[in-house]
Amino acid sequence: MSHTYEYPRPAVTVDCVVFGLDEEDLKVLLIQRGVEPYQGRWALPGGFVRMDESLEDAARRELEEEAGLRTSHLEQLYTFGAPDRDPRGRVITVAYFALVKLSQHHLQASTDAREAAWFSVWDTPKLAFDHADVLGTALQRLKGKVRYQPIGFELLPPKFTLSQLQRLYETVLERELDKRNFRKKILAMDLLEELDEVEQDVSHRAARLYRFDHKKYKQLEKAGFNFEL
């Protein structure tokens, strides 16, 4: 005979930190809340987990509902459970972080989001709930992970220059990198496919375009290769 026990239970939400990159800045996706609590305040997209869905399914649903966004790179970040983190009651949130190519996504706010927009991670408005802590945790994860896994390529267009690749790492890591050493190291990994194409519509000398070879990386990874920059 099964038994159930009556006691207060916390609710569960998911919150998503979505990073994108433009030419000069690392961006994070925020939505403006259309309902209380914190109506009108900017926040990370997210919401309550339904009884019939997994955590990841809930995160993907909330991203699509609140911002019209889909992403292939979504991974669990951390669980935040301070007793007073949500004025509605005892709410635990499981945070995810995602990486997207800005040029491939058009934001469209809906459901309880009044607006969706990209903000510089270094200049965000005051965020609702404990979302500033969630964003800070995600940023530290990105800074660490981008050095030992090739997730940074998720932020670049499919075809990119070596200068764009270096700027990505300099932007995320917040420091300058030696051009010669960076190129020598990244090219020595033999993970970039040099294309018979150059930049178009640029005022300076057009640079060669490259593409990241995902298939080759997977093969090397199985053989014990370690990506490290």
Q: Kindly state the DSSP code that residue 152 receives in the 8-state scheme.
A: G
Q: How many CB atoms lie within 10 A of CB 188?
A: 8
Distance CA 18, CA 157 (A): 16
- Known catalytic residue at 115: yes
Asked if 146 contacts 228 with a C-beta cutoff of 8 angstroms, the reply is no
Task: Cis check for the bond before 83: say yes or no (omega within 30 of 0).
Answer: no
Tell me which of 56, 64, 65, 115 is the catalytic residue: 115
Asked if 168 contacts 152 with a C-beta cutoff of 8 angstroms, the reply is yes
Distance CA 103, CA 81 (A): 35
Active site residues: 115
